[in-house]
Structure 1
Amino acid sequence: MSDIATYNAEGLERRPLKDFTEKAYLDYSMYVILDRALPHVGDGLKPVQRRILYAMSELGLSAAAKFKKSARTVGDVLGKFHPHGDSACYEAMVLMAQDFSYRYPLVDGQGNWGSPDDPKSFAAMRYTESRLAPYAEVLLGEVGQGTVDWQLNFDGTLSEPRLLPARLPNLLLNGATGIAVGMATDIPSHNLREVAQACIHLLEHPDAPLSDLMRFIPGPDFPTAGEIVTARDELVKMYQTGSGSVKQRARYEVERGDIVITALPYQVSGSRVLEQIAAQFNAKKLPMIEDFRDESDHEFPTRLVIVPRSNRVDVDRLMSHLFATTDLERSYRVNMNMIGLNGRPRVMDLRELLVAWLIYRTETVRRRLQYRLEKVLERLHLLDGLLIAFLNIDEVIRIIRTEDEPKPVLMARFGLTDTQAEYVLNTRLRQLARLEEMKIRGEQAELAEERDGLQRVLGDEQALKALIRDEITADAEKYGDARRSPLVARSAAAAIDETELAPSEAVTVVLSEKGWVRAAKGHEVDPAGLSYRSGDTFLSAARLRSNQAVVFLDSTGRSYALQAHTLPSARGQGEPLTGRLDPPSGARFVTVLGDSPQARYLLASDAGYGFVASFEDLIAKPKAGKAVLTLPKGAEVLRPVRAGEGAGAGALLAAATSAGHLLLFPLSELPEMARGKGNKIVGIPTPKAQTREEIMIAVAVLAEGASLMVVSGKRTLTLKPADLELYRGERGRRGRLLPRGFQRVESLIAEQAG
């Protein structure tokens, strides 16, 4: 690239576009690499993370402090150190607070900070509160002890640390991910105690090979407790080259024949896994599974239950298939790319990383000791001058009282330095009066002992190593914990080549008020207890076999049919029927039916007309369905009532109106039809029928000898067979008025005979 630039008459620089764009892009690339995307080997942090932690420490948000609104912290970070977007800054802060994202969280959050199922479901920063986690002390504890270089912030008004004086190799402990320009980094997290032992071993044996270090660090340790199933030789190669991959697999156990998944791989959502299983289940690719559900709660954060169809199912083979086809096993790329001590990005192997960090730590400790030594020497120097003043207090007071410029006189009279004389002059008279020579000499002795100790450590390389070792050991004891991700040798996962279709099985088809449909396994499901979309509720359910047709009836009297096995699972909230069917505009679905073809149903409208139809007559294959029940003007469809199979000799039809009239007559008096308006069931006065002041509100079919329950609000009236005789009459008649208090009929329920 040419660095030659020319200038025109106005003094404007002229440069070839090729050279300008090349330099601009390289400058941008280096900025992204060094100041945004890659962590530093020293403290293992990116600039935004470093600035967040430093800003929180400046706000006094230690682990023992009260929580403070996250918006306050983000505001300080953006306003003082990091002039970028608030959402990106807050997201970086959230990541450091999530114990399922960070092995050793740096921020202690209060409020909604996301969940393993949806890490980005955290609340806005105006709602959450935060402070530093105890582990953050490892990074921030020595900032004010002369251990770091400082740089001006973006507007030159404040200073910020270039790096933090990490007491542990945080880059290995918490790992890092980032995408720069032309390079990326993916460093997995590790166990603190294991890394600390490896650091101590390398400190004491500088020539230790990688094989020795891997005795202490056998592999990564993720925030989740899934098993690491990567082969040993692959882990060795990964640590030798600084790149490779790691596989983590869910852990499971068998409880009473059920498969219970108790731990998931890192960054894997339990709901996502269930969605993947459901997709295969609905596609009939998992015939060996009867049911699956999520039983996770606060006591058991991860508990996914898979129920095999029988005890003859090969559990290991089934799980191997799920490992191969779902996120129950996941592979993580490893690329140990970082900014080295020389400020250049490079990929390091495990040994190089630990060596680089120990160099950084050694220099940090040396700077801390030197800083403290300078402070001790400065204090001793001041105490020497103070002691001279104390021993000659009368003369000092005389000089101060009589001399216009006492400072040079004191320096000449007692041999004090400028600093000592200034300190004596700034000491209050009453403090001098209380000072005792023994106190001064006692402090001098303590400081002299500390000075000697500091000088000894600074002058002895082995003593310095011993100090670093002891500090690493203390931090490992304080912040360390047991390994979460066990390393286990497992055979490779393999998918099952399953071609058989699932057999017919019991299902419950559930329809909601808004027309959403789903199918639940079994007939013991409580449809009303299922979860529904906001503003939606349970409407109707049908129990049948998965190889049967399901019939839907809409408010215009049209019927539709779908195959039960094609319906979505009840583990979700289903899907709208309008996506599969084509009802008339404004129509709504009123019920769902499932039965044998020979079953008979009473179809009726609230205008008082109806007929009996077989279930087979209700099945309509076209998406637009077929017109089954013809409605008088303004009338609405009542929910069909099952009328049994065959002739139904002795069965009665009960009909009630909104005015409280009840009529019973033999069901056989109604015709059996495939479609139409039907015959009049109950008589309603013409004026009231025309204005719809009175309608047929409910119907029921009673077997011979059965009782009838009349539901009116919270009250119920049970009519025995003998009582029902009072309400028997001819079809199409008005019927008899129910007793006072039961005339606002809501529904009629047929009870079993006997």
Structure 2
Amino acid sequence: MNLQANFEQIPLKEYAERAYLDYSMYVVLDRALPFVGDGLKPVQRRIVYAMSELGLAASAKPKKSARTIGDVIGKFHPHGDSSCYEAMVLMAQPFSYRYPLVDGQGNFGSPDDPKSFAAMRYTESKLSPIAEALLGELGHGTVDWVPNFDGTMDEPSWLPARVPHVLLNGSMGIAVGMATDIPPHNLREVVTACIRLLDEPDATVADLCEHVLGPDYPTEAEIITPRKELLAIYTTGNGSLRARAVYRVEDGNVVITALPHQVSPSKILEQIAAQMRAKKLPMIEDLRDESDHENPIRLVVVPRSNRVDVEEMMQHLFATTDLEKSFRVNLNMIGLDGRPQVKDLRRILSEWLQFRTDTVTRRLQHRLAKVERRLHLLEGLRIAYLNLDEVIRIIRTEEEPKPVLMARFGLSEEQTDYILETRLRQLARLEEMKINGERDQLEEERARINVLLKSPTKLKGLIKQELNADAARYVDDRRSPLVQREVAQALDESALVASEPVTVVLSQKGWIRAAKGHDVDAEGLNYRDGDGLLAAVKARTTQQVAVIDSTGRSYSTAAHTLPSARGNGEPLTGRFTPPAGASFDALAAGDNDTRLILATDFGYGFVTRFEALTGRNKAGKQLLTLADGAKVLTPVITADPARDRIVVVTGEGHLLMFSVAELPELDKGKGNKLIDIPKKQMADGERVVGVAVVAEGKGEVTLYAGQRKLTLKWADLVEYGGNRATRGGVLPRGLRRVERIETTG
């Protein structure tokens, strides 16, 4: 026996390609994308049809959801019961569907947790009233019927929707290589756009957007996308739009009353609370969820004080939480040609109107065939009445009366069968009158149907009339207001930090920390073994802190992010990546416009704005150009560069005071010479040990030389005044080995 005859041998590449394409087409056409005609995916269509077959109309008593799902998966949709039930639940959630197709009784989830619905054995369901707009014409010859998965019964290929359901409830789905994101719309707007297109077949997308103003979600959140962008979405079939929560101010508190579609209140609370824990929302004191049955969404945000700018606070929350959310729009659906395509608004409505025209035509033709068949039967019955005695005689005397009657009166087989099945009591005179009346009515109806079928104009009129009737029956007001607003921007990080005084401490080995307050004894803090104080600077938590390394590069970080002084801090090498072998030598803090004097011990310096020291690069940026062997001195602040004086002192006891205005203001570089140090003295090791700034006419500096110190007041400093780059005056003999200088007044 040759077993190979039972198998088809094909290359693996060809088999894999064919199998993947078959699967892709199945997912696209039979699972993920809706049909433009009824706007349903196959699982949704089968659920609605199965419920109608179970008699679960809007006026009927509901049945257990498990009964419905059992019928769906047993007869039409051989997939998992949980996924099928979830699809039904989605159609019953008023916060998920703009026009729910299922009326659910029991726990069908909540806006806070849409998937918290009870198991199907606990819930009951039936169709909602608007489902009639999908099913009402099902038995009128309007759809094609196909065998179900096992061939034991037929199911409809689509439902004869009387309204453009594809836009009303929208759809979301992920196929293979494509996806769909159709937002829901308002019934009245879509119907009026359809009527406009019927009246004006050449209407543009812009014309139709005079009626379809934008999506209409189940929630009352605002759609803030500009009208121009909405028009672009409907023109291309692609784009995105933004929805924003609605709030009002009550007794100084912010009350959020509506959230964007599919945004959970608990997630919003979690997002805001996380920022509060991270101390990124200093303007908020408390957060409460006061939602109840009467107020499905009521989130209360309590500002820290009445000085908080509520509008500014909410803009930040919009930008940093899902209170403002972007929605993808991708109008991808299966068209009348059976192919998936991204369609613009005009194409969608045109195809749906063609679908509706075909549906109404089939319905009329189906009814016309029934009317003509009934008239045909009534005509045979009328002949029998006119020849009643002869008909009775033939039936009584002939062994096979059927062919005799057909030959004698020219009847069809169908007419003859109907005559022979007529009961004796229907032969009364009154019945004859009823038959004549019915025939007249049917002939009038046949004439009316023929007029509709032969006149496209009258057919359009009928479609418009039915659209208006359905709109009047199911219409409601728009829920999502269209309010054009700018996209929210988050506040600057510094604006979210409470302004508090801190002292930033840098150790000799590059460990940094921040102690609360300005009255901190930096030298008295605990340091790691072999480490000690290098520099300390007063700052505020809203400011940046800059560090300069031994190569002249500057690095910056936010003061509020520094670790507490309770410990040893953290190494700067964890935040920055200085060049190999470089050490951190100087520390500064201030606002962007704060003026600083940067200097080196070789006696060069310049004035710069603090912003020049800041940057986001972990590798820092080159700030000072240093000669070989030069070191960076501690930067000093000058409040008024035009009037302030700079005091420069060298280690050999030379001191010079001159106007800060003599120094250039640079963003980077070497700067100009501050004080003259002759080459011989430079070679012998004389260096600038520090600079200080004093205000004109006041202020004092203190010099430290070993155990000795000297305080020079303004009157003393004037004696050392001179021009920039001169040698300056010589200090008293006991202070010619100066180690450092401080401004003390």
Q: Normalising by the residue count of structure 2, what TM-score does the alignment of the two structures yield? A: 0.66
Cα distance in 2 between the residues matched to 1:424 and 1:68:
44
Matches within 5 A, 1:170-569: 170-433=165-428, 435-499=430-494, 501=497
430-439 vs 242-251, greater mean Cα deviation = 430-439
Among candidates 48, 60, 65, match of residue 53 of structure 1: 48
Superposed displacement of residue 503, structure 1: 9.1
Provide the secondary structure at the position in 2 that maps to 1:474. helix
Cα distance in 1 between the residues matched to 2:369 and 2:235:
42
2:83 pairs with 1:88: yes
Cα distance in 2 between the residues matched to 1:52 and 1:11:
40
Superposed displacement of residue 412, structure 1: 1.6
Provide the secondary structure at the position in 2 that maps to 1:436. helix
Cα distance in 2 between the residues matched to 1:280 and 1:288:
11
162-171 vs 412-421, greater mean Cα deviation = 412-421
Cα distance in 2 between the residues matched to 1:464 and 1:304:
52
Instruction: Report what 1:726 is aligned to.
Output: none
Superposed displacement of residue 437, structure 1: 2.2
Cα distance in 2 between the residues matched to 1:341 and 1:10:
42
Instruction: Report what 2:111 is aligned to.
Output: 116
Cα distance in 2 between the residues matched to 1:206 and 1:265:
35
Superposed displacement of residue 386, structure 1: 1.1
Provide the secondary structure at the position in 2 that maps to 1:14. coil
Q: Is the 8 A contact 1:8 1:14 kept in 2?
A: no
Deviations 1:378-406 (A, max 9, x none): 11111111122223323222221221111
Deviations 1:285-306 (A, max 9, x none): 1111121101111111111111
Instruction: Report what 1:152 is aligned to.
Output: 147
Provide the secondary structure at the position in 2 that maps to 1:114. coil
1:249 alignment partner AA: R
Instruction: Report what 2:10 is aligned to.
Output: 15
Cα distance in 1 between the residues matched to 2:362 and 2:257:
47
Deviations 1:336-382 (A, max 9, x none): 11111010111101111110100110000000001001100111111
Cα distance in 1 between the residues matched to 2:307 and 2:256:
20
Q: Normalising by the residue count of structure 1, what TM-score does the alignment of the two structures yield? A: 0.65
Deviating beyond 3 angstroms after TM superposition, the runs of 4 or more aligned structure 1 residues are 7-11, 498-504
Instruction: Report what 2:27 is aligned to.
Output: 32
Superposed displacement of residue 241, structure 1: 0.7
Cα distance in 1 between the residues matched to 2:431 and 2:260:
66
Cα distance in 1 between the residues matched to 2:150 and 2:321:
50
Gaps of 5+ in 2: 501-562, 564-745
Cα distance in 2 between the residues matched to 1:12 and 1:76:
37
1:138 alignment partner AA: A
Among candidates 120, 129, 142, match of residue 125 of structure 1: 120
Provide the secondary structure at the position in 2 that maps to 1:10. helix
Cα distance in 1 between the residues matched to 2:262 and 2:356:
31
Cα distance in 1 between the residues matched to 2:497 and 2:183:
42
Cα distance in 2 between the residues matched to 1:201 and 1:482:
20
Cα distance in 2 between the residues matched to 1:11 and 1:99:
54
Cα distance in 1 between the residues matched to 2:424 and 2:417:
14
Cα distance in 2 between the residues matched to 1:405 and 1:493:
89
Superposed displacement of residue 10, structure 1: 3.3
Q: Is the 8 A contact 1:390 1:435 kept in 2?
A: no
Q: Is the 8 A contact 1:250 1:329 kept in 2?
A: yes
Cα distance in 1 between the residues matched to 2:4 and 2:132:
59
Q: Is the 8 A contact 1:226 1:249 kept in 2?
A: yes
Cα distance in 1 between the residues matched to 2:367 and 2:272:
61
Superposed displacement of residue 434, structure 1: 6.4
1:359 alignment partner AA: Q
Percent of residue pairs bearing the same amino acid type: 69
Superposed displacement of residue 436, structure 1: 2.6
Cα distance in 1 between the residues matched to 2:390 and 2:411:
14
Provide the secondary structure at the position in 2 that maps to 1:178. strand
Q: Is the 8 A contact 1:51 1:82 kept in 2?
A: yes
Cα distance in 2 between the residues matched to 1:372 and 1:106:
28
Q: Closer, same or farther in 2 for the Cα pair 1:245/1:429, shift >3 Å?
A: same
2:329 alignment partner AA: V
Cα distance in 2 between the residues matched to 1:24 and 1:387:
63
How big is the alpha-carbon RMSD for the aligned residues of Structure 1 and Structure 2?
1.5
Superposed displacement of residue 491, structure 1: 2.0
Provide the secondary structure at the position in 2 that maps to 1:151. strand
2:61 pairs with 1:43: no
Cα distance in 1 between the residues matched to 2:44 and 2:338:
18
Deviations 1:500-535 (A, max 9, x none): 65599xxxxxxxxxxxxxxxxxxxxxxxxxxxxxxx
Q: Is the 8 A contact 1:222 1:485 kept in 2?
A: yes
Aligned pair count? 499
Provide the secondary structure at the position in 2 that maps to 1:332. strand
For the pair shown, the structure with the greater C-alpha radius of gyration is: 2
Gaps of 5+ in 1: 1-6, 505-565, 567-754
Q: Is the 8 A contact 1:369 1:454 kept in 2?
A: yes
Provide the secondary structure at the position in 1 that maps to 2:108. coil
Cα distance in 2 between the residues matched to 1:162 and 1:156:
14
Provide the secondary structure at the position in 1 that maps to 2:214. coil
Superposed displacement of residue 11, structure 1: 4.6
Among candidates 158, 166, 174, match of residue 163 of structure 1: 158
Deviations 1:85-125 (A, max 9, x none): 10111011001000101000000100000001100000000
Q: Is the 8 A contact 1:97 1:106 kept in 2?
A: yes
Instruction: Report what 2:595 is aligned to.
Output: none
Cα distance in 2 between the residues matched to 1:71 and 1:162:
24
